[in-house]
Structure 1
Amino acid sequence: MVWAFHTDEPEFCPQCGDSLETQSTEDGPRPHCANCRTTAYHNSGVMARTAVVDTDRVLLIERGAAGDVGAWATPGGYIDAGEPPREAAVRELEEETGLEAAPEALTPVNVGFLEFDGGESDVAVNYAVLRSETAGTVEAGSDAADARWWTRDALRADLPAEKNNLRAIGMETLLDLLDDRS
């Protein structure tokens, strides 16, 4: 089993609980447990996100949890172990907006890479789906404080830089999706 961490370097083994030492590897020093021979890696988190497009507008959620509370983003979150990215994207879409979609209705858009202070990073597998391919009523849920539709003009005029967390997909990509659907 591979143990990946998205926080500071661990002090204790996730497998057996013993203290970790530092072991030299071909990739540099890594936390290692001498007792059970587990090596811990500091890897990127992997997310799946979905842009829901309805003619000339896109659905965004206002983050209600984590370090980016108050920022607007496409619905999405971390992929669970053993979960295919498309299934994670539709799960997160429903959890955060109330909308349901079939995994096969999602179209791959791009892969984003996000870097954070302290050396953390995430990879975002981004999808798009037409509103007509979804079911349900938009309502913020889970860790979303709000969910609402944004037009191209509103994205450019009303989304302040400090409240913009669209870097997982990219503002230009989002605007291109609106151009393709309008």
Structure 2
Amino acid sequence: MSEETGPRRCARVIVVDEHDRVLLLHSSGFVTPESEFFVSVGGGIDPGETAAEAAARELFEETGLRVEPDALVGPIGHTVGTWWLGHEDHVFFLLRTNRFEVRFDWLEACEIGELTGSAWLTVDELRAVDAGVFPVPIADLAERVVGGDIPSAPVELAWVNWRGDNKRYPLSTPDTIEGTA
């Protein structure tokens, strides 16, 4: 992405269920054949969309859950950094909802095969894999919002040179990750 067009703007959602578990999506073999990591729900903001509209759209495309943009709280977090797509600028929203079955039926063509499963994680489980969450670790922010402390302004999240290389970040119990098949 060139400096003239600016960073790729993205909107993400930290989804928390009624049992205070955080939803993450699982990606395997996307960056390299050996890579395995987790992804917070979200993606690029399309021209003409607000960040909340993009977050709600991405939530539907990546999980099958449809909500109105005003159901999202925030933005509660923000980060900027560089990934292989170029310079990116992400805002994070919060959604408290009842647990639902994640479905990948509405993924964009370029996303099919990238997402391989999903997991509802406790904050402790999230902390165990947090270094492998794209685009940034979110355990501290998740713990804060699970505890009821909703930031009134976006918390700056440190982009920690996330590369998505051949490191593996699986959970200790493979049954926790629900596959797409």
What TM-score bracket applies, with the shorter chain setting the length?
A: 0.5 to 0.7
In structure 2, stretches of 5+ residues that fail to align are 150-181
Q: Residue 8 of structure 2 aligns with which residue? A: 45
Q: CA deviation at 1:42?
A: 4.4
- Cα distance in 2 for partners of 1:60, 1:66 equals 16
Equivalent of residue 133 in structure 2, options 164, 171, 174: 164
Within a 5 Å distance, the mapping from 1:131-150 to structure 2 comes to: 131-132=97-98, 137-141=101-105, 142=107, 143=111, 144-150=115-121
- Cα distance in 2 for partners of 1:77, 1:152 equals 23
Q: CA deviation at 1:117?
A: 5.9
Q: Residue 17 of structure 1 aligns with which residue? A: none
SS of residue paired to 2:59: helix
State the AA in 2 paired with 1:85.
A
| TM-score (ref. length: structure 2) | 0.65
- Cα distance in 2 for partners of 1:102, 1:66 equals 30
Within a 5 Å distance, the mapping from 1:87-126 to structure 2 comes to: 87-116=53-82, 120-126=86-92
- Cα distance in 2 for partners of 1:160, 1:126 equals 16
Q: CA deviation at 1:86?
A: 1.1
Q: 1:128 to 1:67 in 2, by over 3 A?
A: same
Which structure is larger by alpha-carbon Rg, 1 or 2?
1
Aligned residues: 139
State the AA in 2 paired with 1:147.
S
Q: Residue 61 of structure 1 aligns with which residue? A: 25
SS of residue paired to 2:49: coil
- Cα distance in 2 for partners of 1:98, 1:119 equals 25
Are the aligned partners of 1:51 and 1:58 in contact in 2 as well (CA < 8 Å)? yes
Q: Residue 86 of structure 1 aligns with which residue? A: 52
Residue identity over aligned pairs, in percent, reads 28
State the AA in 2 paired with 1:51.
I
SS of residue paired to 2:36: coil
Are the aligned partners of 1:140 and 1:147 in contact in 2 as well (CA < 8 Å)? no
| Greater RCO structure (CA 8 Å; 6+ sep) | 2
- Cα distance in 2 for partners of 1:86, 1:92 equals 10
- Cα distance in 1 for partners of 2:49, 2:60 equals 15
